[in-house]
Amino acid sequence: MSSDKLADARWFKSSRSAGDGECVEVAFLGDGEIATRDSKLGGTESVLLFGTHQWDTFVRTLNA
């Protein structure tokens, strides 16, 4: 993935995060995609991208 796509990403962690450095970070990108990454790794090499429908399905599955 091109790091240009993530250059202006604003990453955040859940308010339920324990703060121990083992978190998933999320960024909502301007083109409607949602990016996730492992907070321990940071950067752009470990990023997963979701479309809005895929993200909704992912979140619903986690909350089931």
Residue range 6-27, pLDDT digits in tens: 888 899 887 777 766 678 889 9
How many whole angstroms separate alpha carbon 33 and alpha carbon 13?
Answer: 17
Look up the domain containing 23 and give its range.
Answer: 3-63
CA-based Rg of the chain, rounded to a whole angstrom? 12
Return the pLDDT at 27. Answer: 94
Instruction: Look at residues 29, 38, 23 and name the one whose alpha carbon lies nearest to residue 4.
Output: 29
Say if residue 59's pLDDT is above 80.
yes
Longest dimension (CA), the chain: 34
What is the token pair recorded at 18?
Answer: 């324990």
What is the number of domains present in the chain? 1
Return the pLDDT at 46. Answer: 82
Say if residue 64's pLDDT is above 90.
no
Say if residue 43's pLDDT is above 60.
yes
Q: Considering only residues 12 and 5, tell me which one the structure prediction assigns the higher pLDDT.
A: 12
DSSP letter (8 states) at residue 6: G
How many whole angstroms separate alpha carbon 48 and alpha carbon 45?
Answer: 9
